Amino acid sequence: MKLSDEAEFTKHCERLGAMGAAAFIEITFQPATAIAVLAELQLALRHPGNVGESAKAARKVVDTLIGALDAMSPGIGRLLRKGDDPNCDVPTGEKAGAV
């Protein structure tokens, strides 16, 4: 985002924030899409510079997705949590299986 857009963006954030906890955006995913979004968020959250309120919000989405998927297929949550652990990454040169 350009610095020239910052004031306009701030105005929108304030307007949205004023709506309070009663304002929601609902998103519906197929399980495979939820897993793909989950994996992207987990990767982003592992970046050392990704801290603050946006990271906390992303972590809530991760936890919500894992909880929903685990409710659909008990036990998958344990596997999905491995996405938070760099020690569980697929080594360079190997391919992960498709979802």
Q: In angstroms, what CA-CA distances link 78 with 16, 18, 43, 52, 58?
A: 35, 37, 17, 26, 19
Residue 8 DSSP symbol? H
- The reported pLDDT for the residue numbered 84 is 92
The Cα diameter of the chain in Å comes to 48
What is the separation, in whole angstroms, between the first and last Cα of the chain?
A: 33
For the chain, percent helix, then strand, then coil, each to nearest 5?
65, 0, 35
- The reported pLDDT for the residue numbered 22 is 82
pTM above 0.75, yes or no: yes
Which tens digits make up the pLDDT trace of 67-96?
A: 999 999 999 999 999 999 988 888 877 666
